[in-house]
Amino acid sequence: MTISIDQKNDLEMVITSENPPTFNLATYLKTQQAAVEAALEGAIAVVYPEKIYEAMRYSLLAGGKRLRPILCLATCELMGGSSIMAMPTACSLEMIHTMSLIHDDLPAMDNDDYRRGKLTNHKVYGEDIAILAGDGLLAYAFEFIAAQTQGVAADKVLKVIAHLGRAVGAAGLVGGQVVDLESEGNPDVTLETLTYIHRHKTGALLESSVVCGAILAGASDTDLARLSRYSQNIGLAFQIIDDVLDITATQEELGKTAGKDLQAQKATYPSFWGIEESKRQADQLITEAKAELAPFGAAADPLIALADYITARKN
Ligand code: GRG
């Protein structure tokens, strides 16, 4: 008897269900990244005035790890929801993240020429259009959730919009960026201030990625609190590793200028702890993050593997 591909796959499923395979992060990331790329590609059409839509698409579709959307999809699925429910929010997280990178790279802020291996938005379109491309992405992100989310009750969509709005504004990214700008070149920045900067500038959107995925799936308050602690820990670990990579990785690996923190006289975790202790602190945060997921068992494998990826990544 010839075995068809489907039957062969069925056979493989029987074999693997007897010996459950370990979760394969590389395959998972590839699948999820492809799904996110396809959704982002279809999210913004180029219409009149074409220049602004092209500028928005230039940075949005420039690659990147797509970590925030993937965290959102993974958490929604962990809590019993579907990727269809979460995809508009996942895309909007990437729109917000991308707009924050466009504005962060402006001459008035970090003044960077490269991002995601390409020229920065203002280098291609000019500062005026880059500011507006960021504004366009930010506004569209909220419109996109409100207009495109399907299969989720309106009160949950509203909760997601409120959570994300808080994460982006002065209580989140904007606040973190302000303290970061104020601290530049100040040799007396404390560890508390540095942690404030990163919990807000980087941590707030990563937390929102996880929590919003859970809200969409209707997670309980207990699970939301648990997932919030998980995401706060991975958020801080993410930034510690970012600081380490700024010193240890090359421009080719990072896709942006390396060594910027030292050049701008920024306080970083390695400047307080050194590289090895910084890595140890990040590992400790990841261990604590993963411990929060214990009650979910094997269903949390994607979130556990994503936490490990944060410290193992090379860019
Ligand atoms: C949000 C309204 C609003 C304004 C922007 C400029 C600004 C306010 C905030 C700065 C936020 C910022 C750039 C934080 C750094 C976050 C960070 C570690 C970025 C790198 O993220 P990765 O490694 O990048 O996930 P990829 O390219 O992989 O997506």
Q: Is the pLDDT of residue 192 over 50?
A: yes
Q: Is the pLDDT of residue 99 over 90?
A: yes
Confirm if 46 and 61 have CB atoms less than 8 A apart.
Answer: no
φ, ψ for residue 118, nearest 5 deg? -125, 165
pLDDT one-digit tens code per residue, 194-252:
999 999 999 999 999 999 999 999 999 999 999 999 999 999 999 999 999 999 988 88
Q: Which residue has the tokens 């506004």?
A: 139
Q: Is the pLDDT of residue 265 over 70?
A: yes
- Residue of the CA atom closest to atom 16 of ligand 1: 202
Amino acid 14: pLDDT = 36
Test site for ligand 1: of 104, 115, 245, 260, most ligand atoms within 8 A of the Cβ = 104
Burial of 33 (0-12, 13-18, 19+ CB in 10 A): middle
Q: Which two tokens stand for residue 66?
A: 């797509």
pTM of the model: 0.92
Amino acid 12: pLDDT = 37
Q: Which two tokens stand for residue 220?
A: 């309980």
> Which atom of ligand 1 is least distant from the CA of 109?
6
Distant-in-sequence, close-in-space partners of 146: CB < 8 Å, separation ≥ 6 = 157, 161
Res. 18 pLDDT band, cuts 50 70 90: low
CA 163 to chain centre: 15
By 3-state DSSP, what share of the chain in percent is helix, strand and coil, each rounded to 5? Answer: 75, 0, 25
Distance CA 305, CA 310 (A): 9
Confirm if 99 and 172 have CB atoms less than 8 A apart.
Answer: no
Confirm if 162 and 168 have CB atoms less than 8 A apart.
Answer: no
Q: Which domains does the chain have, with CATH numbers?
A: 5-312 (1.10.600.10)
Amino acid 256: pLDDT = 83
Neighbours of 180 (CB within 10 A): 23
Q: What is the mean pLDDT of the chain?
A: 92
> Which atom of ligand 1 is least distant from the CA of 138?
2
Q: Is the pLDDT of residue 191 over 90?
A: yes
Test site for ligand 1: of 95, 103, 112, 207, most ligand atoms within 8 A of the Cβ = 103
Average pLDDT over residues 105-129: 97
Distant-in-sequence, close-in-space partners of 200: CB < 8 Å, separation ≥ 6 = 171, 172, 173, 175, 176, 177, 179
Q: Which residue has the tokens 């796959």?
A: 9
CB of 166 closer than 6 A to ligand 1?
no
CB of 98 closer than 6 A to ligand 1?
no
Which contiguous run of DSSP H or E holds residue 119? strand 118-119
Amino acid 259: pLDDT = 84
Q: Are strands 118-119 and 114-115 parallel, antiparallel or unpaired?
A: antiparallel
Res. 273 pLDDT band, cuts 50 70 90: very high
Distant-in-sequence, close-in-space partners of 176: CB < 8 Å, separation ≥ 6 = 196, 197, 198, 199, 200, 201, 202, 204
CB of 104 closer than 6 A to ligand 1?
yes
Test site for ligand 1: of 37, 66, 70, 100, most ligand atoms within 8 A of the Cβ = 100
CB of 71 closer than 6 A to ligand 1?
no
Distance CA 95, CA 114 (A): 18
Distance 211 CA to ligand 1 centre (A): 18
